[in-house]
A and B are shown apart, each in its own frame.
Chain A
Amino acid sequence: MFMAKLREAVICFKAGRVTLPYPAAPHDPEPGFRGKITIDPDLCFGCGGCANVCPAGVIFLHDAEQHARILELHWSRCTYCGRCAEVCPEDAIALTQMFETATDRAEDMVISLKVFMGPCQRCGRCFLPPTVLDQMDVAGFHEAGGGRP
C-alpha cells in the first residue's frame, strides 16, 4: 500500500506540469491538420463537385443569372472531412491550419462566391467525378436546383 502510493507520487513528480499555456501562448496544430476551409475565387470555375460530395450538405449552388453561379459554404456545420478539397479539379479549395473559428456573428460562418460561367462546349459537364460512388447529381449549370437532390 505504502509502496503503491510512493510509486504514484513519483509518477506525478516526474511528469511535472504538462498543461500547455494555451491560449496565452499560441498552439499550432500538427502539419496536415484539417482546419477552416478556404476557396480561391480565381481558380473556382463553378463545377459543383464539392457540393456534390459534401457529406454534411453545407455547400450550396444557385444559378443567379445566365452566366453567373453562386457558391455558398455554410461552414457552421462543416465537419472538416476535406472531401471538397479532394475532388476539386482546380485545387481551388484548401483546408488551412486555422482552428480558432469561434465567432458571435452568424454571417461569419458563410463563405459566398459568385462565379462567372462559360458553358463547356465539348461535354456540357464540368468534370468527371473520381468514382461511380460520387456520380454527379448536380445538373448542368442552367438547370441546377442547388447542391443536393
Chain B
Amino acid sequence: MAVAEGAMARVVDGITDRLGQQLIEASLSPPDTLQLVIDPSAVRAATEQLVRGLGARFLISIGVDRRLLAGDFGVVHLFSMDADHLFVALDCSAAADDPRIDSITGVVPGAAWSEREFRDAVGVEPVGHPDPRRLMLADDWPEGLYPLRRDVPYNIDPPPAEGVRPRFAAPPEGASVLAMGPFYPVLEEPAYFRLFVEGETIVGCDYRGFYNHRGIEKLGDSTLTYNEVPYLAERICGICGFIHSSCYCQAVEKAAGIEVPRRARFLRTLLLEVERIHSHLLWLGIAGHIIGFDTVLMQAWRIREPVMWLAEEISGNRKTYGMNTIGGVRRDVPAALIPKLLATVAEVERELTAVRDAVVTDTTVHARTRNVGRLETAWAREVCVVGPPARASNVAIDARLDHPYAAYDEIVPKICTDEGGDTWARVVVRLNEAFESIRLVRETLAHMPDGPVLTEVSEPIPAGRLGISTVEAPRGEAVHAVLTGEDNRPHRWRVRAPTYPNLQAVPAMIQNQMIADVPITLGSLDPCFSCTERVEAVDVTSGAIRVYSRRELASLAKRGGAGR
C-alpha cells in the first residue's frame, strides 16, 4: 500500500519542529518505512513528539552491532503510525567504545523490555532505565559477553558465571511472596511470576522469564541463509508458525523490493486465517481448562481437529506448514481441494455456533471471567498491548488493517472490539474473530486469482536495507525487522512475538485480584512464552506402541537416540 506523501511530511515536520538540527536525515525506506536518523541525545524528545504529538504507537527497539559497517552500535526504535499505514524508525547511534543511549521507558512504558533486551543482546546501556535487570540472558551467563554482537560466534559455549542469583524485586512492606512458576501446571511453558500478596489479594508482582531463550535470531544472522530462515522462523511458535515465516518473508521481500504474485498473497491470507481459526479454538479450549470447565476443552479441540487435517492436506503438515519462501509460497492449493475446504469451515462454523450459544449463557463462565483481569484502555495504550487483549480494551488496532499485507488490501477484515476490558471481553472478541476468519476464508477462496505462486528471485539481495513487516497473529501483532547483510543472509533479524508486549501488561491486570484469578487472567492473553523468548519448539510425531517402564526410558535416553 502506497504511503501518503502528506503523512510523511507531517511526521518529518513534527520532528523538525521539536528537534531542529538534531534531525540529521530523513529518508523513505520503500515501501512504507520512514527512517529518521537523529542525534542520540534527542531520542527522548523525538519519542515524546512521536507518541504524544503525532499519535505513533511504539513497536520494538532493535539493537544492531554496526561496527563493521559504520563503526558504531545502532539502536532503532520502531513506531507505527496506524492511521497512515506508515512505520517510523528512529535511528540512533551509540559509540563503539562506550555504547549508551537515553532510556525512553519513561515516555513509553511499553519500551521497558525492548531496552533491557538490547542491553543484554548487544550491550548498549539504556541510561535511566527504571528496571535495568537482565531480561533475555540467563543469570549465569558471563557479564560483558553480548551474544548478538557480530564477533561472538553462534555456537559459543562460555563457562557459567559463578555465585550468581536471579535479582528479584523486593515485595512491598507487609506483603508475602507466592511463587507461581517457573513450572506451573496450567501454563505449559516456563514463566516465573512472584506474586506479592496480602491474604488472597495481589498487591504486586515480579516476573522472570526467558527460560526458553535459544538464540534463534543469532542463527538467522550467522549461519543460515535467507532461504533457510523461514523454516526456523516457523518454529518460533508451535501454534502460529506460519505467521512468523510470512512475517519474515515479507520483511525480506520489502527490503529487496521483490514483488510477490497475487495468487501467492491470497494463499498466504488463506493459511493465515486457517491458522487463526485453529488457534482461537485451541485458546477457547485452554481457557475452559484453566477455569476447570473441561467440556469446553474437549469440544473446542474436537471442532479444531478437522482444521488441522485440512492444513495437513494443503501444506503437507498439520502445523509446520513449510509453505513460505522468499518470493511466494512453495505449494499451490489444487482446485479439487476447495469444496472440501469450504465444507470443513462450514462444519466448524456450525459446531462453533453451538458451543458459543451454550457458553455465553453459562453463568459459571461469567462468574469466572467477568471483571477479572481488567485492563483499562489508557494503560493498554501505554504498554502497547496488541491483538485481542488490546481490542477487548477498546484499542482498535489490527495489523491486517493498519499495515495491509498479503491480500488484506482486497480481503478486508472487520475489526472486532469490545469495551469491557476484562477476561470475558477477550472471550467475546476471540469468538467473534473466529467467525470473522471463517468469513475471510470463504471470501479469499471466492476471489482467488489464477497465476504463479512464486517469483523467481533473479538478483542478490542488496546489503544495508531495512525491511519491516507486521502480521496479525491470533495472539496479536507480530513484528519482524530485517536489516539485510552480506553473504546471502540478514545482518540483523529482530522478531517480536505478540506476547512480548502483552506480558508487560500483566502486573496491571492482576493488581487487586484474587490469587485464584491469576491463571485465567494470564490465560486470557493467550500467552506464548516460547515465542516471546524465541525458542526452537520441536514437534515429535511418536509411533511407539509398546509401553516403556521408567527405567527403560531412562536407559534409552542414556544411549541417546540423536544422530550427532
Contacts and interface: CB of A to CB of B under 8 A. Distances in A.
B228 A82 contact: no
Nearest to B327: A131
A77 interface: yes
A4 B313 contact: no
Interface residues of B, number: 57
Interface stretch (B63-71, B377-385, B451-459): B451-459
Interface stretch (A11-19, A40-48, A139-147): A11-19
Nearest to B311: A30
A102 B542 contact: yes
A149 B357 CA distance: 58
Interface string A3-32: 111011011100100100001000001111
Contacts of A54: 228
Contacts of B457: 131-133
A106 B559 CA distance: 8
Interface residues of A, number: 49
A55 B351 CA distance: 39
Contacts of B229: 55
A25 B324 CA distance: 34
Given A4-B363, A76-B561, A110-B563, A30 B312 contact: yes
Interface in B380-417: none
A74 B226 CA distance: 23
Nearest to B545: A23
Q: Which of A8, A106, A135 has the most CB of B within 10 A?
A: A8
Contacts of A57: 223
B2 interface: no
B225 interface: yes
Interface in A48-84: 53-58, 74-77, 79-83
A133 B359 contact: no
Q: Which secondary structure dominates chain B's binding surface?
A: loop
A8 B358 contact: yes
B289 to A, nearest CB: 15
Given A8-B362, A80-B322, A133-B326, A75 B563 contact: yes
Contact of B563 (A23, A74, A95): A74
A109 B559 CA distance: 14
Interface string B293-323: 0010011001001000100110111001010
Contact of A82 (B302, B316, B361, B545): B316
B295 A53 contact: no
Interface in B517-540: none
A101 B541 contact: yes
A18 to B, nearest CB: 5
Contact of B231 (A33, A55, A99): A55
Contact of B330 (A11, A15, A86): A86
Contacts of A103: 561
Nearest to B312: A30
Contacts of A102: 542-544
A4 B488 CA distance: 58
Contacts of B361: 1, 3-4, 7
A1 B357 CA distance: 12
Given A30-B309, A133-B488, A135-B488, A7 B358 contact: yes
A51 B431 CA distance: 45
A134 interface: yes
A10 B317 CA distance: 33
Contacts of B231: 55-56, 79, 81, 83
Nearest to A72: B563
Given A11-B354, A102-B544, A104-B556, A1 B302 contact: no
B224 interface: yes
A40 B363 CA distance: 62
Contacts of A34: 316-317, 322
A106 B563 contact: yes
Contact of B227 (A5, A74, A82, A133): A133
Given A86-B330, A109-B563, A32 B228 contact: no
10 contacts: A1-B364, A3-B361, A8-B362, A12-B299, A33-B316, A34-B316, A55-B231, A99-B541, A101-B543, A133-B457
**Which 5 residue pairs across A and B have the least CB separation, nearest first?**
A100-B543, A7-B358, A74-B563, A4-B362, A55-B228
